Amino acid sequence: MDRNQIIGFSLLAALLIGYVMYNQHEQKVFFEQKRTDSIAYAKAHPRALVDSSKAFSAVQAADTSVMADSATEALRRLQPPAYNGVAQTVILENKKLSLEFSTKGAFPTAAFIKDYKTYKGKPLYLFNGKGNALSAVLPTDNGKSTADLYFSPVVRQEPNGDKTVDFTADLGNGKKVNITYTLPANDYMMQCNIVLTGMTASHLPLTWQTLVLPTEKDLPNERMSTQVYYRNKDEDHDYFTVATEEKSIDNKSNAAHWLGIRKQYFSSALIADDGFTKMESKFSYKDGDTTIAARNLASLELPMKSVGAASSASMRWYIGPNDYHTLKAYKIDLDEMVPLGFGIMAFVKYINQWVIIPIFYMLAGFVSNYAIIIMLMTIIIRLFLSFFTYKSYLSSAKMRVLKPELDELRAKIGDDQQKFGMEQMKLYRSAGVNPLGGCLPMLFQLPILLSIYYIFPSFIEFRQKSFLWADDLSTYDSIFNFGFEIPFYGDHISLFTLLMTASSLFLALYNRNMTPQDPNNPMLKYMPYVFPIILMGVFNKMAAALTFYYTFSNLLSIAQQFIIQKYFIDEKAIHAQLQENRTKPVVQSKWSQKLEEMQKMQADRSKVPPRKK
């Protein structure tokens, strides 16, 4: 190194040392001035110092929270995927249904039935939102519920048009839960398959909770029609109507084939082809709650099949309308949920199945207006019963012909009713008149009336079909609302019910004029008028289709009776025939013999003087 280089390096070192010393001096002056300014600011603004301290503490807390979250996140990442996730919604739909599933629990939370609307015209959801769940208790982790697991969904469409969503929950250590739902392209019946990998069990406990939404005009009537219905493997059926007080059913002794919650026109049912080994259901509704029609909480046990280290089970889930043909097509008696007749009137179910329903669907095949279908049905039924109607009116005509002779007997015998009864029976027997001839034919019509009473309010075909002033034939046709409740009547006026009552009263009056009256039973002549008045309150809340049927049926009865009386019954010819019958030997029927014996016994009993005490 020469002299020039030594001098150059020395100058650079001197400059560097001088810059460092100058920079340190300037920093010292700056921080001293900053400290002086801070002390002066703190004296002038003491609040700011506290806020700064809090801010510093918050920063420290945030740092601590971040560290804690980081630790939690680290632990979370160590857990199996099924215990971590965010609930998402998966939609599975076909031409008839749209179902929303939650990836947390892998169960449907909403069921939208596409072809129908609520009475208010909104999309019809049978259930929707929180509180609707189907979960299983797993044979692992002390009974872990699938409701707490996060599932990974895979949605696919099958070649035949069916749609499937496969939910998978990985519990780690080779344990997995697969829940697969398959929705046919054009059906209300969904298939559900459950596979447990790395876990074995003989049965799988299920919890099914449903909050049924109101869909109809009259919520109280809708609740009266809401029932929990089930069928056992031995084909025995039973049902319970939902009420404000919680009810429960416990079916441990007999395997249940399916369990359904039935509303007036829609149902949801779980079906296990191998049967549920256990079934318990609790159901109720809260009075005053207009958002939920009913709630049901069921505990079920689904039998499982084990293959190696895996177990599987399957069931079906019906979500749809109470359409008789649709339910019957499944051939598992789901059509029993359509009330065609029960209790002491269970026999009318067969009339509905074999007469009313076939006639209805035959007419619906070429007539689109359901009011016209009702009228055509009434005409067909009336024609079918015309023979019995004619026999009834013929018997009434015979009684009218014999009335002058009965009046003579009554005047001759006086107040001795037992003797008059015996002489009356002799007169009828000699003339060949059956005193029950007018009643028995009418009894054959009563089952038809009862059949219509049961089926019309349950026929979903009438739902939201309008006629004249009735906007929905499945509910009452209100033309005026009072705004308050009238006991035994209601809060509205149903015009079809008024017309039914008026036509019934007119028919009763017409029959009274055509039928001889017993002067010794004055109450009998008022009964035909009291009964329609009583029924007016009962039918005021009934379906307009039902009250329209009875109204039209009454009008047909009046017309039919007029035609028969005018063109088919000749009272002169009847009188001549009765006189001719008297000349023939009397053949007494067993019924007449029994009746006469009873009258004689009654007469003899009344002649025995009372014993003296």
Q: Are strands 175-183 and 227-232 parallel, antiparallel or unpaired?
A: unpaired
The kind and range of the H/E element at 297 are strand 294-303
Cβ neighbours of residue 226 under 8 Å, at least 6 residues apart? 212, 241, 242, 261, 262, 263, 264, 285, 293, 294
What pLDDT sits at residue 121? 93
Does the structure show a pLDDT above 80 at 131? Answer: yes
H runs (alpha helix) in 3-45: 3-44
Give how far the C-alpha of residue 382 lies from the chain's centroid of Cα atoms, to the nearest Å.
32
Mean pLDDT of 568-575: 76
Structure tokens at 153: 């969904």
What pLDDT sits at residue 333? 92
What pLDDT sits at residue 59? 40
Structure tokens at 132: 């609707």
Band (80; pLDDT cuts 50, 70, 90)? confident
Structure tokens at 5: 């280089």
Contact (CB, 8 A) for 260 and 299 = no
Contact (CB, 8 A) for 114 and 266 = no
Contact (CB, 8 A) for 319 and 99 = yes
Q: Which CATH number fits domain 85-338: 2.70.98.90, 2.160.10.10, 3.90.1640.30, 1.10.10.10?
A: 2.70.98.90
Does the structure show a pLDDT above 90 at 322? Answer: yes
Structure tokens at 269: 């049912």
- 114-127 burial, b for 16+ CB within 10 Å, e for fewer? eebeebeeeebbbb
Report the alpha-carbon distance of residue 273 to residue 256 in Å, rounded: 10
Report the alpha-carbon distance of residue 332 to residue 271 in Å, rounded: 9
Closest CA to 124 of 220, 264, 224, 229: 264
Beta-ladder partners of 479 = none
Least confident of 62-71, 230-239, 334-343: 62-71
Average pLDDT over the chain, rounded to an integer: 81
SS3 at position 64: helix
Q: How far is CA 201 from CA 140, 161, 305, in A?
A: 10, 34, 8
Structure tokens at 463: 């739902």
In the block, tokens 């999309």 appear at 123
Report the alpha-carbon distance of residue 230 to residue 333 in Å, rounded: 10
Cβ neighbours of residue 31 under 8 Å, at least 6 residues apart? none
Contact (CB, 8 A) for 268 and 210 = yes
Least confident of 83-97, 147-161, 502-516: 502-516
Q: How far is CA 503 from CA 195, 443, 510, 548, 557, in A?
A: 63, 20, 10, 11, 10
Structure tokens at 52: 């700064």
Q: Are strands 189-197 and 123-128 parallel, antiparallel or unpaired?
A: unpaired
In the block, tokens 């308050």 appear at 484
Mean pLDDT of 32-42: 48
What pLDDT sits at residue 51? 45
What pLDDT sits at residue 411? 77
Largest CA distance in the chain: 174
What pLDDT sits at residue 42? 45
Band (436; pLDDT cuts 50, 70, 90)? low
Band (47; pLDDT cuts 50, 70, 90)? very low
The CA-based angle 139-141-144, given to 5 degrees, is: 70
Cβ neighbours of residue 608 under 8 Å, at least 6 residues apart? none
Contact (CB, 8 A) for 251 and 279 = yes
Contact (CB, 8 A) for 177 and 313 = no
H runs (alpha helix) in 262-336: 324-328
Does the structure show a pLDDT above 60 at 30? Answer: no
Band (611; pLDDT cuts 50, 70, 90)? low
pLDDT digits (tens, 9 = 90+) for 250-292: 877 678 999 999 999 999 999 998 899 889 999 999 988 999 9
Q: How far is CA 135 from CA 148, 301, 378, in A?
A: 9, 11, 49
Closest CA to 388 of 343, 438, 331: 438
pLDDT digits (tens, 9 = 90+) for 527-548: 777 888 888 988 999 999 999 9
What pLDDT sits at residue 588? 57
Report the alpha-carbon distance of residue 458 to residue 264 in Å, rounded: 7
Helices 370-384 and 357-364, interaxial angle, to 10°? 130
Residues of the chain with CATH 2.70.98.90: 85-338
Mean pLDDT of 185-197: 95
Mean pLDDT of 424-440: 69
Q: How far is CA 578 from CA 21, 213, 582, in A?
A: 149, 66, 7
Band (572; pLDDT cuts 50, 70, 90)? confident
Q: Are strands 163-172 and 152-157 parallel, antiparallel or unpaired?
A: antiparallel
Polymer length of the chain: 613
Beta-ladder partners of 232 = 256
Does the structure show a pLDDT above 60 at 240? Answer: yes
What pLDDT sits at residue 599? 61
Report the alpha-carbon distance of residue 271 to residue 274 in Å, rounded: 9
Bigger pLDDT: 596 vs 400:
400
**What are the φ and ψ backbone dihedral angles of 413, each rounded to 5 degrees?**
-85, -35
**What are the φ and ψ backbone dihedral angles of 285, each rounded to 5 degrees?**
-145, 155
Task: Give me the DSSP letters along 97-110.
Answer: EEEEEETBTTEEEE
Structure tokens at 439: 């009643």
